[in-house]
Amino acid sequence: MDNKAIIYSEHKELYKENMDFIYKKYINLVGSYRQLVADHTNEVRFLKSTSILAPYFVIKKIIMTFFRQIKK
């Protein structure tokens, strides 16, 4: 019974640490996404008015930002 309690408490601690880490990454990602949208709003408007490929460029930038955040 003691071993189970110890394992459970260790697992709970690890889970909490992992969730904190994931939450911080998520917050960074949301912040980056908002920054990306703010930085490229005018460019996106221009692309939408001139190009069929506009969604492709937007999605590409979001994906690249996502991967940059994961690497950090």
Residues 23, 38: Cα–Cα separation, whole Å: 22
Q: 25 and 70 in contact (C-beta within 8 Å)?
A: yes
pLDDT given at position 18: 80
Would you say the C-alpha torsion 54, 55, 57, 61 has a positive or negative sign? positive
Q: How many angstroms separate the CA atoms of 34 and 32, rounded? A: 5
pLDDT digits (tens, 9 = 90+) for 6-58: 777 777 787 888 888 878 888 777 777 777 777 767 666 665 555 566 667 77
Residue 31: domain span: 2-71
Confidence band for 3, pLDDT divided at 50, 70 and 90: confident
Q: Among 22, 26, 30, which Cα is nearest to 62's?
A: 30
Q: Specify the length of the chain in residues.
A: 72
pLDDT of residue 16: 81
> How many domains does the structure of the chain reveal?
1
Residue 52: predicted pLDDT: 62
